[in-house]
Structure 1
Amino acid sequence: MALDINTQWSAGKKIHGYTMLEDAHEGSNSIWGKAKSPTGQTVFFKKYTSPSSMFDDWYQGYVDYQKEIKKRIDEVSRSDDKGRNTGPTYRFIEFFEQLGPDGAPESMKSMDYYQVLEYIDGAKDLETYLTSPDTTWNDRKMFASVFMFAMKTLHGDRIKIVHADLKPKNLLLIPTRRQDGSSTYQIKIIDLDMSILMDKLAPWHSDGIRYPGSPGYFSPEHLRGQVPTEKSDVFTCGLILYEILAKEGHPYDRQSDLQIYEEYRAPIPHLRGTYGSPELDDRVARMLHRMLDPDPNKRPTALEVQRQLIGGQPVRRRDAGGGVRVSRPSVPDPVETVRTPPVTPVPAPGEAVRIPPVTPAPEPVRPAAYCKLKNAGHPEGVRVFPNTAVGNKFLQVIEPEARRVYCQEHFKILFHDGKWFIRHCAPPDENKTALNNVPVSGEMELHTGDVIAASNADGTKTAMPFTVEIGE
C-alpha cells in the first residue's frame, strides 16, 4: 500500500530531538511543518523527498551544496538588539541526515535529509499585501526598497547566490519600527531549495534541462534551458516590481512565454504614485523596464535598482538602529542589516556606475525540457530528473501497487543528446519494464503519451502504469 505521510510524521513525534507541533504538510520536494527545538524554540522543520539518497545520484552533491549556501548566508546574518535576524533570508539552524523511514524493512531504508530553519513569526507574504486594499503607496515603496536591498545582498560578493525561484509568495514581510518610532518592514526571502551559487554549478545541472522555477516568474534564461544568473533574478525582480509599483501590474499577465519576452512587449510602466518629482518617477519607470530586457547583459544589477529606488542619492550615515538613511526624506529607508560592513559608496553625480561583466550562460542542447510521470493518484505528475532510478523506495510513496517492485532500481530515466530515454535495470528475477506494452531493451526514447509499466517477459501483462509527459 502507499505510504501514508502522516503515519511517519504527526504532531508530537520526536525526530533528532525536535518535537513536531503539527502533522506534516506535503510540498513538491519535501514534507514540512512547525516543530519545537530541544531549547523550546519554534522552528521550521523540513524533510526532503527529493533528492533521495536511494535513487538520485546527485543527492550528496545537493547536501554539500546546501551546506555552502548556509555558510554564505550565515556570513551576513546578524542579530539586532532585540535578537531579530537582519539577514536577507531565513536563518539556517541545522542540517542533518537520518536513516529512514521508521518501520520499513532495512533493505528499503536510506538516508533522509533534513533542514531546520528559522520560523518567521508575524510575517505575511508579499502576495497577501498586494491584494489588500489597506496597502498604501508608501507601503509599496518600502516593499520595493527592502526587496531590492535584500537582493543586492544576496548577489553581493560575500554571498554570490542566485535565488532562481523568486515570486511574491517567497517574499515574507515583517512590520517593524525604527528607533525613531517610524514604521518600516523587514523582508525575508525564503525557499532557497534550488538556489544556485554563482561560482559553482548546481549538482542537478544537465544541459538543456529547464531549471526549477514558477510559472509567471520564469526568466528568459529559464525558458531557453540556460543556467539562471543574477541577471535572471533581476528579470524576475522586474516582474515583481511591476506588481508592486506599476498601475499595469504584472506586465505579461503572469504568462511565461519566451516569444513575448524576446519581443520585449512590456510597456514602460506608469507608477501608482510618485517618488517626489516627475524626473525621479521617469527614472524609476525606465529602470523597471530595463530589468525586463531580453538580453541579460542590458539589464541593471540589483545594486543599481536598489540605489535608484532610494532616490539615487549617496548613503549619508546609518542610524542607531542600523537602518540606512538617505538624503531624500520622501523615500523610506530599509532596515535590513546591523553591524555589517559599510555599503559600497555610491558614485558621485555624473560618475558612471561600473557594472561587473556578466558571463554569458552556456548555450543549451535544446529548448528547456522536463519529464513527468503521471498516474491516477498523481494526475499532475511527478517530475523526474536525469538519472533518476525508479524502484521500490520511489514507488511506495506514489503507487499503491508498488509491492510488485522489489528492487531499488527497476528502471532509470535518462537524458542526453537533447532527448529523454528509459532503461530497464532490474535483476533478471524481477518483473520487466514495458514501454507501450513492449519490453524495454537497452535505451528507448520517451515521448509525451508513452506508457511505462511493470510487465511480464513479453509485455502482454502489465501493472502500475505511468503516463509520460515531456515538456518543452
Structure 2
Amino acid sequence: MKELGRYKILEKAYEGGSSLIYKAWDEENRRQVAIKMLKPGLQSDRSALKDFLNECEILKTIEHQNIVKVYEIGRTPHMIMEWIEGRNLKNIIVRERIDLSRYFFPLAWKIGDAINYLHNRGIIHNDIKPENILVSLEGEVKLIDFALAMRKGLFRWRKKIKGTPVYVAPEVLLKGKTSEKSDIFSYGVLLYELLTGRLPYNAESPKLLLTKKAESKLRILPPSYHNPSVSPFLDRLVLSLIDFSPSSRPTIREVLLELGREALSEVGKKIEWREA
C-alpha cells in the first residue's frame, strides 16, 4: 500500500498481534501522521474487529495532552493519529537500559494524569504497561493502545483474559473483573519497574506466576530493596498501588495528590532520556 486517500505511506512502523501502524505524510495538513489498521487477515475476525471499533469509539471522544491524539477515523476501518517520534518505556528501560528513575515524578505524574482523565470519564484502560507509554524525543509522554479499554459498568465477555499477565490485577485473573482499581494495579507495576528496572515479582514460569498472583501468594519486596535511593514515601506509595486487595488501593486522584504534596516542583521536570 502506497497511499490511503490524501495520506502517502512512508513506511510500516509497527506490527502488533492484530494491527499494523504506518508512518505517513498528510499532504493537506503538511504533517507526519500514524495510520493504525487491522491486519488484512483479521478484518473479518469478529473479536479483533470489535476491539478495533471499540478503540476507535473511545479515542474519538477524548482529548488529553498525555493521550495519543486521533485526527480522523476512516470507514476501512482505520485511525489517523498524531505521529510521535520516540520510544516506548519498555524499550527505553529494558532494551536500551536507560535509567529513568531520576524522571520518576514527571513520568508518574503525566501517566497518572492521563489515567485520572479517563477514570473521570468512566473509562478503564485495561492495558497499562511500559509498552503502551510513548516518550517522544522532546520528552512528551503519551498513553496509547485502547483496544482493551471499556466504559465503566459495561462487561465484555472474553474466552480468555487479555492483557500482559505481569501487569494484570489478581482480581482480573481470578474473576475477569475490571475496574479503576485494576488500572491502578497495572500503574503500580509500571512505577515499580520505572524505579527498579525490574518487575515486583518473579516466578519459575508464566503459568506459575499467574497461579501465585491470582492466589495472592507472591512476595513483593519494596522498590528500595533493589534501588536504595528510593525513599520511604515511594516505597509506601508504590506498594499500596499493587496491594492484592482492590479496596486497599488508592484512587488515581489520591495518588496525584500525594505526588503533588511530595514533589510538586519535580512533576514538571523536562524528560531528556536521550542524555540519560
Matching of residue 115 in structure 1 with residue 65 in structure 2: no
CA contact (8 A) 2:184 2:252 kept: yes
Amino acid at match of 2:109: S
Q: What is the Cα deviation at residue 243 of structure 1? A: 1.1
What do residues 98-119 of structure 1 show as CA deviations (whole Å, max 9, x unaligned)? 3xxxxxxxxxxxxxx2111111
Structure 1: which 4+ aligned runs deviate by more than 6 Å? none
State the structure with bigger RCO (CA 8 A, min sep 6), 1 or 2.
2
Q: In structure 2, how many angstroms separate the alpha carbons of the residues matched to 1:211 and 1:51?
A: 22
Deviations 1:130-160 (A, max 9, x none): 24565364223332232222222222x2x33
Q: Contact 1:145–1:334 at 8 Å: present in 2 too?
A: no
Gaps of at least 5 residues in structure 2 are 271-276
- In the alignment, which residue of structure 1 is the partner of 2:157? 206
1:124 to 87, 90, 105: 87
Counterpart CA distance in 1 for 2:250 and 2:269 is 20
| 1:274-353 matches, cutoff 5 A | 281-312=231-262, 326=264, 329=265, 331-333=266-268
Aligned partner of residue 22 in structure 1, secondary structure: strand
* Mapping of residues 375-414 of structure 1, within 5 Å: none
- Say whether residues 1:170 and 2:132 are aligned partners: yes
Q: CA deviation at 1:188?
A: 0.2
- CA change 1:225–1:48 in 2 (3 A) is farther
| Structure 2 CA distance for partners of 1:218 and 1:142, relative to 1, 3 Å | same
Q: 1:189 aligns with which of 143, 148, 164?
A: 143
- 8 Å CA contact 2:52–2:147 kept in 1: the answer is no
Q: Tell me, yes or no, if the aligned pair for 1:88 and 1:151 is still in contact at 8 Å.
A: no
CA RMSD, Structure 1 to Structure 2 (Å): 3.1
Q: Does residue 202 of structure 2 align to residue 253 of structure 1?
A: yes
Q: Is the 8 A contact 1:219 1:235 kept in 2?
A: yes
AA partner of residue 268 (structure 2): D
Q: CA deviation at 1:60?
A: 6.4
1:283 touches 1:308 (CA, 8 Å); kept in 2? no
Instruction: Map Cα deviations across residues 196-222 of structure 1 (whole Å, 9 max, x no partner).
Output: 222434xxx226x33320142222133
Report the 3-state secondary structure (helix = DSSP H, G, I; strand = E; otherwise coil) of the residue aligned with 1:192: coil
Cα deviation 1:242-264 (Å, max 9, x = unaligned): 111248x3111385424245125
Question: Counterparts of 1:363-378 in structure 2 under 5 Å?
Answer: none
Residue 130 of structure 1 aligns to a residue in which SS?
helix
Secondary structure, counterpart of 1:73 in structure 2: coil
TM-score (norm 1): 0.49
Offset at residue 91 of structure 1 (A):
0.4
Verify: 1:160 aligned to 2:111, yes or no. Answer: no
Gaps of 5+ in 1: 1-8, 78-86, 99-112, 177-184, 276-280, 314-325, 336-472
Question: Equivalents in 2 of 1:129, 1:191: separation in Å?
Answer: 18
Which structure has the bigger radius of gyration?
1
Match of 1:37 among 5, 8, 26: 26
- Alignment partners' CA distance in 2, 1:260 and 1:53: 34
Contact 1:290 1:298 in 2 (8 A): yes
Whole-Å separation in 2 of the counterparts to 1:270 and 1:96: 48
> 1:88–1:188: 8 Å Cα contact kept in structure 2?
yes
Percent pairwise identity: 24
Matches within 5 A, 1:9-48: 9=1, 13-23=2-12, 26-39=15-28, 40-48=30-38
- Between the two proteins, the alignment pairs up a number of residues equal to 262
From 85, 89, 103, the counterpart of 2:67: 89
More helix, by proportion: 2
Larger strand proportion of the pair: 1
